[in-house]
Copies of this chain bind each other. A is one copy, B any other.
Amino acid sequence: MTTHLENTIRSVQPLDEPAMQAARSRQNELTKPPGSLGRLEALSIQIAGITGQPRPTLRRPAIVTLAADHGIARKGVSAFPIEVTAQMVLNFLRGGAGINVLARHIGAEVIVADLGVAVDLPPNDDLIVNKIGYGTRDFSVEPAMTREQARQSIEAGIRIAQAAIARGCDILGTGEMGIGNTTPSSAITAIFTGRPVREVTGRGSGVDDAGLSRKVAVIEAALALHQPNPADGLDVLSKVGGFEIGGLAGVMLGAAAARTPVVVDGFISGAAALIAASLAPAARDYMIAAHRSVEIGHRAIFDYLRLQPLLDLDLRLGEGTGAALGISICQAACKVLDEMATFAEAGVSNKEA
């Protein structure tokens, strides 16, 4: 019997080359010097390959913001108390958080899901509850979760992506909330990229020098203790991950399997991208990196996955805020491809005509 995860991984196909070729040809006929819209042109061609449409349109974006808590957060690795995860989920549901503002700005909906907040949240029709646990365990002393929980968290994300796409969403952004979650993200980054822990560990929401030293020491000790296997994404996720990180890996896999572009937010989403790409290498081509986070480890992720972020605005909030701005750039790129006049249509003389 194959699982939902395995079926999804098998469904991830290479990009559609004929659609990309058609998009590339059209870009060269539009009333502009060839290549003069730079990365917008490349992005439109990638999205043509993702969707299989020579002139893709992106009309209904959604940001998937997943929340969960982390046992490791009790080890003094965050500037904020663990209660803030639940408080911020309520803020998302009331529309007062950064991601709500930026999603409204681009006309996107925000899909909020609890994959493992440490407390039960009040029932709310706008909150998907799919708790894999009440926070992960403290990975400085034991694995963060079981291998089965790792699979469940990814499959929860796949289901959320599939449901959004089934409702008509045609581009997804990833976002998260989880006090302490830069610590598992740095651990995951060190494992896959092979970089030293201190080179991929930053200040997260704003720890001081002592907090940063604690983060590095905690991660180094955990890697020595658990010996995660970088060839086994579920092993890495279970030993040092988070439920929302697994969930976001699932969102990326679900989007890729459904030929839907997925805009990867910041550092934590990047760690989820490493998990997703380890399980389904072809999923990488469906990812669009939104922005370069202030978090130092983000660069290592881009190098490893060969992704180039669209924006560099010194963001480090997460939630999907960078993804929202990135989605707007993706929409702009597709509109250029679809709506601009060709030289022939506009009666404009072509280069050296």
Query: Which A residues contact B (CB, under 8 angstroms)?
Result: 30-40, 79-81, 83-84, 87-88, 90-91, 94, 96-98, 100-102, 104-105, 205-206, 294, 310-317, 321, 325, 328-329, 331-332, 335-336, 339-341, 345-349, 351-353
| Complex CA distance for A254 and B294, rounded to whole angstroms | 36
Closest to A319 in B: B32
On whether the beta carbons of B97 and A317 are closer than 8 Å, the reply is no
On whether the beta carbons of B313 and A312 are closer than 8 Å, the reply is no
If A315-B36, A341-B91 touch, whether A349 touches B84 (CB-CB below 8 Å) is: yes
16 interchain pairs (CB within 8 A)? Answer: A32-B98, A32-B317, A37-B317, A39-B314, A87-B347, A87-B349, A91-B346, A94-B346, A96-B346, A97-B346, A100-B340, A101-B336, A104-B335, A104-B339, A105-B332, A328-B328
Residue in B87, B105, B329 whose CB lies within 8 Å of A325: B329
On whether the beta carbons of B349 and A81 are closer than 8 Å, the reply is yes
| Complex CA distance for A341 and B91, rounded to whole angstroms | 8
Contacts of A205 in B (CB 8 A): 33, 36, 351
Residue in B36, B332, B351 whose CB lies within 8 Å of A102: B332
Closest to A345 in B: B96
On whether the beta carbons of A206 and B349 are closer than 8 Å, the reply is no
Contacts of A340 in B (CB 8 A): 96-98, 100-101
Give the top 6 A-B pairs by smallest Cβ distance, nearest first. Answer: A96-B341, A38-B314, A36-B317, A33-B205, A39-B313, A87-B348
| Complex CA distance for A84 and B350, rounded to whole angstroms | 8
Contacts of A91 in B (CB 8 A): 31, 341, 346, 348
If A96-B31, A96-B345, A98-B32 touch, whether A38 touches B294 (CB-CB below 8 Å) is: yes
Contacts of A31 in B (CB 8 A): 88, 91, 96-98
Contacts of A79 in B (CB 8 A): 33, 351-352
On whether the beta carbons of A98 and B328 are closer than 8 Å, the reply is no
| Complex CA distance for A353 and B83, rounded to whole angstroms | 10
On whether the beta carbons of A312 and B312 are closer than 8 Å, the reply is yes
If A329-B325, A335-B105, A340-B96 touch, whether A38 touches B313 (CB-CB below 8 Å) is: yes
